[in-house]
Structure 1
Amino acid sequence: MSAPILQTRALTAGYGGRAVLNGIDMTLRENEVLCLLGHNGAGKSTLVKTLFGLMAQSGGEVFVDGAKRERQSVRASTAAGIALVPEGRGVFPSLSVEEVLKLGLWSADVPPAEHAARLDWVMAVLPDIKRFYKQRAGSLSGGQQQMVSIGRALLSRPRCLLMDEPSIGLAPKLFQDLLGPIRQLQQDTRMSILLVEQNVREALKVSDRVVVMKSGSLIREALPGELDTNAKLMELY
């Protein structure tokens, strides 16, 4: 079994004094795609934001490569090789794709001397970006914007990628086309991926393991093949 890259123990977090995460114990291992399922409002996005440092934890512990995380911030997460594809894509509609990606290079602290090579690498993973590289992000389709969001996250060449609902607003075929290159990259580089998804069937096709969240708690861990029928999936909700 591969070593854990991210772990939580009794992790709690919430908003305005109201708990959303109720003592989460979770492990994301090196070289795996872990699919996180759950109903709307279960706490999935809160967990992702807390792991990445966008939200402060109110209790519990987070471990990166087996060492307790002492400093919680986006910059510390990026330095540790963790990147986020946020829910809703988060691209700036008034900026061109080129400007969005260059801003991503700056925010990921990529040395200027490496900018060109890093952009070329992302274009090799997601070559369709070349077709709309000079266009305004706001003029792109939902699938194209999601591609830009993923490309921006990959600019840091992460060891661990957190993907929060990447299929929102996308047709199933387009979602498949997006996930294919990412799964291939993961297998080629041994990157770890935490995939939060509502499109359960497509997510299970690219996942190695599944955890299910309900009302702020993890209620089940399974292999994708154990959730291969509608009846089994309905049991979770």
Structure 2
Amino acid sequence: MTAAVLQTDGLVVGYGGRPVLDGFDFALRPGEVLCLIGHNGAGKSTLLKTLFGLVPRQAGRILLDGRDLAVVQPRALTAAGVSLVPEGRGVFPGLTVAETMSMGMWAAGIPKEQRPQRLEWVMSVLPALKTFYQQRAGTLSGGQQQIVSIGRALLSQPRCLLMDEPSIGLAPKLFQDLLQPIRTLQQRTGMSILLVEQNVKEALKISDRVIVMKSGAIIREALPQDLADNAKLMELY
């Protein structure tokens, strides 16, 4: 059996001595889009941040390709093919998109001679980047800023993409316009995506599997079509 790309075993994470995730087990399979849904405070974003090394764990294991990660650090995970699109986009308003992407390539450790081709590849996935490439991020719309955030995450050509609430502040149509190129890329390359999302209806359209969380625990695992009925979804919240 193929090892999960990312997996947790008995994961314990908390703030101020209070656990948010307590003995949490989950697995992201190769080549799937796994959507993580649940009410605010369920622990979804905490899980993503912990998987990427932004929040320390108190106990349990995080495994990458079946290997136990003794230390979880963003730089090492990026080098191993894992990338994060953070909640709130995380763009610097005073930097131009060009400067943001340049900094992203430096942070990802992409060799200088490979950077022009890498940038061209990202723009082939997200062609809208070209239209505001010289603008400062602070002058862009929410949707444009999200394109920048996703583009920056794709610079390392990840095989595993973590996306934390990418729809915040976006109209459903704009959200779909953002996600469809990512879904197309995922299907073409076999990339795995862990998507944390409140806009459940739109997220289900591009997902292969769904995990529902409540109070730091998984209460249901389902296929998107199983949750297409709004009444079924409301029962889970």
- Superposition misfits of 4+ residues, deviation over 6 angstroms: none
Once the two structures are superposed, the pairs formed by residues 1-237 of structure 1 within 5 Å of their partners are: 3-237=3-237
Q: Could you tell me which amino acid in structure 1 is paired with residue 77 of structure 2?
A: S
Q: Is the partner of 2:5 in helix, strand or coil?
A: strand
Measured in 1, the distance between the counterparts of 2:2 and 2:172 equals: 31
Q: Unaligned 5+ residue runs, structure 2?
A: none
Q: Could you tell me which amino acid in structure 2 is paired with residue 85 of structure 1?
A: V
Measured in 2, the distance between the counterparts of 1:30 and 1:92 equals: 32
The 8 Å contact of residues 38 and 214 in structure 1, kept in 2 or not, is answered as yes
Q: Could you tell me which amino acid in structure 2 is paired with residue 36 of structure 1?
A: L
Measured in 1, the distance between the counterparts of 2:112 and 2:212 equals: 41
Deviation at 1:24, TM superposition (A): 1.1
The 8 Å contact of residues 2 and 31 in structure 1, kept in 2 or not, is answered as no
Q: Could you tell me which amino acid in structure 2 is paired with residue 222 of structure 1?
A: A
1:207-232 Cα offsets, whole Å, 9 max, x none, are: 00000111111111101111011110
Instruction: Tell me the matched-pair count.
Output: 237
Measured in 1, the distance between the counterparts of 2:88 and 2:219 equals: 26
Worse-superposed segment, 200-209 or 8-17: 8-17
Deviation at 1:3, TM superposition (A): 4.0
Measured in 1, the distance between the counterparts of 2:98 and 2:207 equals: 31
Q: Unaligned 5+ residue runs, structure 1?
A: none
Deviation at 1:71, TM superposition (A): 1.6
Q: Is the partner of 1:13 in helix, strand or coil?
A: strand
Q: TM-score scaled to structure 2, two decimals?
A: 0.98
Measured in 2, the distance between the counterparts of 1:134 and 1:17 equals: 45
Worse-superposed segment, 2-11 or 130-139: 2-11
Q: Is the partner of 1:9 in helix, strand or coil?
A: strand
The 8 Å contact of residues 4 and 66 in structure 1, kept in 2 or not, is answered as yes
Measured in 2, the distance between the counterparts of 1:72 and 1:4 equals: 17
Measured in 2, the distance between the counterparts of 1:19 and 1:66 equals: 25
Measured in 2, the distance between the counterparts of 1:9 and 1:212 equals: 18
Tell me: CA distance 1:111–1:178, structure 2 relative to 1, closer, same or farther (3 Å).
same
